[in-house]
Every structure is written in C-alpha cells, then in structure tokens.
Structure 1
Amino acid sequence: MKQKNLLIRIFFLLVLGFPFSLLAQQNLSNLNQALRYSRYSRLGLKIIPIKVDDNQYRVQFVAEKIEENPDLNAYNFSYAILNSYEQSIEPEDTQLFASEDLRYDTDRHWVYERTIILPADQTQAIVLFTALDTRQGDEYYYHIDLKSPFVEDHPTFGAYYANEVPFDQNYLNAEEALLFKTTQGPNIHSFFYPMDFEVPYPPMETKPAPVPKELEVIDQGDFLENIPKALDSQGYYFFQQDTSQLTGLLIKTTHEVFPKVRDWDEMVQMVTYISTRKEHETLLMAQDKKKALDEYWLKLTRNPEIAKDLIREYFRQVEFANILFTDFKEGWKTDKGMVYIIMGPPQEVNFYLDREVWSYQGMGESSKIRFTFARVKNILIPHYYTLNRSRAYQPVWFKNISQWRSGKMAF
C-alpha cells in the first residue's frame, strides 16, 4: 500500500510539473532562497507553527499574494519535513497541497494548514514550504525550525487578522488590533518594551556594538483570547501563555505609514549608511531638515533629476528592508537591512543550521562576495542572525557607497 501511494504521488508530481528531479539532488543548505528577498517576487511565503503538545504542531502555510490578481492554478505548493539542513530532499519526502487543502483564499492570502506529529526522540526538525510558479519555473522557498538547538520552543497560540487569516507580517502599525487564539487555556500575558535601537555598525567595524544598560519593560498583564487586542504603542510586544517558560511571540509595532518613511527626521536618520560622519552630524543638527536634505542630495549628485532618482531608489531599499527584516528593530536598523540597502538583494541566499550566507557577484566571473550572518539563540525570535564583521569588507563597502553617492546604484 505504501509503495502504491508513493507511485501515485510521483505521478501527480510529474503531471503537475513539480521539479522533484531537481530537489532530489539538493538539500536545504544548497537551495538558493534568493527569491525570498527579491524586489520582484510574486509571492511571499511564511510558516507559522502553533504547538499543540510536546511533539504535535498545527502548522499554517501562508502565501501572500504580491502580484495583482494571481491565479492559484499558476502555482504548485508543497511542503517537506526534514531532520537536518543536509538531508537530501527526496520526492517521497515532498507533500503536495491539493486545491481541497486550501483553508483560506482572501484578497491577500492563500492559507494551507497541516497537523505535524514528530517522533518523541526527534531532536531536530525543519519544515520547508515550496511554491513553484509554473509559468516561469521560479521556485520560492521558506523554512522554519520546529526543533533545533537554536529554538527554545514554539508558542501554544497564534495571532490573526480580523478575517481569521494568520498574522504573517514582521510588524503591526500601532493602534491596530489582532485576535489571539490558543490551544491551551483562554489567557495570554503581554509585556511591552518601549525601545528605540541604535543603527548597526558597518560590516568592517569589528568592535562590539553597544548594549543598552537598562531594558525598560511594562507588564500589561493578562488578556483573553478571541477578543480583539489593540497594540497601542510603538516598540515591541512579547506575548506568552506561560510566563515561567522562555517561549513566546514577538510583534514589533511601528508608526502609521511604516514600512515607508514617515517624515524628514526619519529620513535624516536613514541616510547615515551613505553619509560621512560630518555630513550626518550636520543633518542631525539642522533646524530645517527638509532644506538640509535637499541640499545634501543635490551636493551628492549635482543634478536635480539624478537626485530625485537617487532618493526614490534609496528609500525604496529602506522600505523593502523594513518589510523583510523587521524583528524587534525596524528592518533598516538590522544587520541584514543595512547590507540589503547598500549592496542590494543578494544573488544567492543559503541557510545552514548555524548561519545564513548572502552571495554577490564579484569583479570576475568566478569571484563572489559573501556576507555571513551567524545565527544566535534568542528567546524573542527563533531565527535571529547577526553579521560576522570583517575589515575585508571595507573595499567593496566603500565602492558601493560611492556608487550610491554618484546616483549610479540600481537594482
């Protein structure tokens, strides 16, 4: 019976055009996940696990519709459960989602759901969500660790939009509300952190970044599930069902126009990556920030039209960084956001258990520039990374900043 089911599954993979012949030669570490960070992606994938008991999870597979009026039939969605980043991804490990598996189809999302039960002795498990665009052959990937040395645990509750679709963003605009639903008891506890973080050091700066001496936290007490919970303030919230445990759910709250830039003061902060120290200090001290910024851009390019293009391109990079990389910091303030803004979207993205590696094409055909983000165990975020800094980055970093300042950067 098992062999018959396998033959049926392979038949459907062939008919539907799923590229299992490619996956059979690959593992999670050598999958190029660059489309996850592309500015031209048609889909945004997310996996949201909710713990039911020690080895059982209700896993929500969310596909955000980025392109206008997408056709579900243009995509093949599937998932696999892997026991390591090096495990070969075989056809029999891949489960296709059928149309009847679709739980929600809204203006913005397709949502699938599966209950996953792991063996009691399994210490590492990774869920891989794949979408194949059958029109172009593009493959989108997204993965999370259900169990690993870097994950304390997963929450026993989830956050939802008003239409019952799982909350899949990295941030929420302050004063908006979410629903919370639990698998264990009706109460959830809320903590609020009114933090404002510093901009990261550049990649070639090897001295340790400053650490806040004090961490202000406001205990907001319990609230009930299934009742809209307004997140009124800007900072970040950490929700827990059991405050004696380390696991919880973090949601960053932002100003009303985030991920876009709000005002001139914020713009001044954001141009730090392409400014000299003196230029940035002058901008910070200016009484009229708009006038100072206008003069700043014109001084860089000496051409009003080029200045307009430069402003548009730079702050578009900021917006994408905010969408993609916001955690407890705004995305543009994270290490990944900084590299993304200056270097552009990476051509290759590879994940390993302990790191994420971005690759860019170098000067020659065979040379590549790589940025390695080390994975750090963090109770707030199960997939948290910091850049491995090195003085070797200085030449390429200054070269790209010069490109920005001349108005020649384009992605």
Structure 2
Amino acid sequence: MRTTLSFYICVLTASVLAGCASSNKPMKQLPEAQVRPTQQSAPINEELSLIAIQSKYLLKDTTQTKVYLYVDAFKGKNPISPADFIKLYNLNYVIYSDYGTRDRLGYGNVKLDSSNVSQVGQKIVVSYDIKSPDKEYGVLLSEISQTGTLKKVLNDLTIRFKKQGVNETYGVYTANSSQPLQRHYINSNEPFTLKKATGGSEQLHVYYYNHDFEAAGSPMNIAPKNVSKSLEVDSSFTISSGQQLTFTKEGLYNIFADTTQSEGLGVLVVNERFPKMTRPQNLLGPLLYMSTNNEINEIKKAEDYKKALDKYWLQLMNGNAPLAQQSIRSFYGRVEEANQLFTTYKEGWKTDKGMIYIVLGPPDKVQRSKDREVWTYDQRGNAQNVNFTFNRKNNQFVDDHYELVRYAEYQPIWYPVVEAWRNGSIR
C-alpha cells in the first residue's frame, strides 16, 4: 500500500464517444487514476481494463463515512460483471491529513462481495464504510489493484468530516439504482428519491431557480468580474426524504434540511437527452468558444437554426461536407463529455473546466490540493507544459465549483487550437 499521496496523477488511455450518436464505448475520463503495466496480459479480446474512478461520500454522522467508488471496468469491450470484479480486484484505502503528506489518519482493506459491489448502467459501484478521524478535513486515497498483477488504479477524494450539511448527508437515488448518483443532474420527469445514509424521513425545503447561467468567459479575460446579483427564487416548496419525487420543470433546485444554512444540495434538472445536445437552439451555445460574435449573432437571427448551423460548419470547412460532419461529431462529442464530467449548478459545457476540456481535450496531468486543481497539457500547438489553475470557490449549490485563474498570456496557446477547430484539423 502506498504511504504517500502523489500530487501528480497521470492520464489514462480511453475511447472517445462518437459525437452525438449513442455509443457503447467507455467515456474518456479526466485523469482520476494512475495505471501501471501488468506483468502478464490477457488475450486481446478478454483484456481487463479499469478506465477511471469517480467518487463521492455521505456522512452517516461525525464518526462514520460511507464512500462510493464509480468504476469504469471492462473485460475486452464489455463492461465487467460484479461477480468478475469481486474475483479479480482488491481494494485498499488510506486517509491522509492533506495532499502530499505522510500523516496517515486511517487505513484498511475492504473485502469485496455482493453486499458492497453492484452495477449501475455500465459502471461498477463499490461502497464501503470508514471510521471518520477527529479532523475537519482529510484526503481519502482508494486503491483498486488487479489480483496477481502490478496494475493499480487510484482515486483521491477530499472529505470534510465535520460538515453535516444536506450536501454531505443526503444522496440522490434514481428509481433503477440502489446507489446514490455521483452526478449533480437528473432528467426532467425522471423519478428519484432523496435519502440519508442513515435512513429515516425528514422534511426538506426546496428553492427553484428558473435561471439560465452564463457560459464561461475567455481564459484570457482578466478584467475584474462584475459583482454578481443575488438569484431570485422563482418558487419554493417542501418535500419529504425517502419518498419518490419527479421534477418536471427544467432548472436548478436547491434543497435544504434547515433554511438557516447557506449551502444546500443543488440538483440541476435537464432535458431528457442531456448530456447529449441535439436541439438546434441548444447546439449554438458551445460554439461561442470557437466563433466570433458576428457568427453567433448571424445564427441567432436565422429563422431556421438547423439550416444556419449547417451553413456555419460548411463555410468553416470550405464546403467540405464530410469534414464538416466529422468536425461536428468531434466538437459535440467533447461537449457531451464535458456535460457528463463537469455539470454542477450549471451544465458542464458552461463551466470553466468544461470550456478548457472542450477546446483542448483532457489534460495530461492533474495536480490536486485541498482547494485547487492544476491541469497540465504536455503540448498544445507550439506550446509545451501549459498549466491551467482552477480554484475551488464557495457556492450555495454544490461543493465542487471551481473557477479558472485567467491570464492574458494564454492567447498564443488558445487561438491556434481554436483555429484548428475552425479548419477541421481536430478529429
């Protein structure tokens, strides 16, 4: 078992979604884990692979925490079964006081069996309990290793052990899952339930915001931000935890157990196709990352959005229809991935992380600390070792809202990549 938590976590190889079409391939993930080579390889059609791990936690109380790992695990091209996962993998964990330290607050081995390993969609979900240290904060390092090999996949999770808000104690469960969602969004008319890790029923207060949040600004825009106006609540109501619910109206819902608290559990309700974007009026938004204001305004003025969008892409590709189709698939494939990975209180493509991911793709390295992430791109265009720093910002809806530190010096890096999108060089 590792005794230190490395600051650097390397990127994994993964297949990219085929644009807006449905795909059975694994989603390209952020570098959540580090994979080491195996000593022996399985036949190519049965090769085992862990693509990445995402994670979350729910506090049972101040002494116990429930951890959930959402694992993209494959045997060949097919998702692995829970039974095979149990036979083939082991799980260990260490709790550190902070990133980059040797100060261990706890550690253990988790016995995997049918009681804590299940399958939700294509993901394996592993749940386990840890004893919460008497600390405000800690970093949990989970290590999944393949039996008989040196192949290991790591996940780091920041846990605030003393923060007992609804966001830390309640999970969102859909009708077809016994495990809480790792994501912040549900689809409109999708049945779901809010549950505490300890069970029981409680009255919860819901505030609804019918607000269209702005997309991320340019990474080179260093002008001071205008003071944001407070959001107006469009409606409010009460619900009971443990009961099945359905939210029909798209928008942002913030849920509180105590209305005196400043932070709630934000749930974004989106259309039934999300994270895909297929409606012509929605397809326009992400184009602002690669378009001029005049181009955006021309599409907005058009009577037929679809024809205007087709014209836009064809003009960029000098009338080359196959190249335009390929570019559309590549671009909106990135948008879909950004929605899956980074949706918080607003759609993933609108976030600072989503913007960088869409234009530049997944980073080659991620460096994390308590309230910061640094994404490193080994090479983009003529630039090498380009860093983008994201700082965690307090937010009333979610606990993982990050904002980019902007620099004018990004211009010679950014514009050549945007131009590559505009001439069809990016596949």
Q: What TM-score do the two structures reach when normalised by structure 1?
A: 0.83
* 1:169 aligns to 2:179 (yes or no): no
Contact 1:170 1:323 in 2 (8 A): no
**Greater Cα offset, 227-236 or 314-323:** 227-236
Partner of 2:98: 84
Contact 2:56 2:157 in 1 (8 A): no
> Shift of the alpha carbon at 1:317?
0.4
Pick the structure with more helix per residue: 1
Equivalent residues in 2 for 1:6-405, closer than 5 Å: 20=1, 23-24=2-3, 26-32=4-10, 39-40=27-28, 42-43=50-51, 45-63=53-71, 68-70=78-80, 71-72=84-85, 73-88=87-102, 94-100=107-113, 102-108=115-121, 109-120=123-134, 122-132=135-145, 137=151, 139-147=153-161, 154-162=167-175, 163-182=177-196, 183=198, 185-210=201-226, 212-302=228-318, 303-362=320-379, 367-405=384-422
How far apart, CA to CA, are the structure 1 residues paired with 2:52 and 2:180? 14
> SS state of the match for residue 272, structure 1?
helix
Contact 1:75 1:133 in 2 (8 A): yes
**Greater Cα offset, 217-226 or 284-293:** 217-226
Contact 2:7 2:368 in 1 (8 A): yes
Instruction: Give deviations 1:184-234, integer Å, cap 9, x for gaps.
Output: 653222222212111211100112445553412245332222210112221
> SS state of the match for residue 158, structure 2?
strand
Contact 2:66 2:129 in 1 (8 A): yes
Q: CA 1:216/1:335 → structure 2, altered by over 3 Å: closer, same or farther?
A: same
> SS state of the match for residue 204, structure 2?
strand
**Greater Cα offset, 52-61 or 191-200:** 52-61
How far apart, CA to CA, are the structure 2 residues paired with 1:306 and 1:364? 21
Letter in 1 for 2:5: N
Contact 1:200 1:209 in 2 (8 A): no
Contact 1:101 1:113 in 2 (8 A): no
Instruction: Give deviations 1:152-202, integer Å, cap 9, x for gaps.
Output: 785332221223221222311111121122336532222222121112111
How far apart, CA to CA, are the structure 1 residues paired with 2:185 and 2:146? 27
Q: CA 1:31/1:216 → structure 2, altered by over 3 Å: closer, same or farther?
A: same
**Greater Cα offset, 375-384 or 140-149:** 140-149
> SS state of the match for residue 155, structure 1?
helix
Contact 1:156 1:241 in 2 (8 A): no
Q: How much identity, in percent, do the aligned residues show?
A: 29
Letter in 1 for 2:294: K
> Shift of the alpha carbon at 1:366?
10
How far apart, CA to CA, are the structure 1 residues paired with 2:106 and 2:59? 22
Give me the CA root mean square deviation.
3.1
Q: CA 1:79/1:379 → structure 2, altered by over 3 Å: closer, same or farther?
A: farther
Runs of at least 5 residues in structure 1 that lack an aligned partner in the other structure: 1-19
How far apart, CA to CA, are the structure 1 residues paired with 2:145 and 2:359? 30
Letter in 1 for 2:252: Y
Q: What TM-score do the two structures reach when normalised by structure 2?
A: 0.80
**Greater Cα offset, 109-118 or 291-300:** 109-118
Contact 1:34 1:348 in 2 (8 A): no
Contact 1:175 1:232 in 2 (8 A): yes
| Aligned residue pair count | 385
Runs of at least 5 residues in structure 2 that lack an aligned partner in the other structure: 17-26, 30-49
Contact 2:59 2:66 in 1 (8 A): yes
Instruction: Give deviations 1:94-116, integer Å, cap 9, x for gaps.
Output: 53332237424235343333333
> Shift of the alpha carbon at 1:27?
1.9
Letter in 1 for 2:423: S
> SS state of the match for residue 398, structure 2?
coil
Letter in 2 for 1:405: R
Contact 1:170 1:251 in 2 (8 A): yes
Letter in 2 for 1:246: S
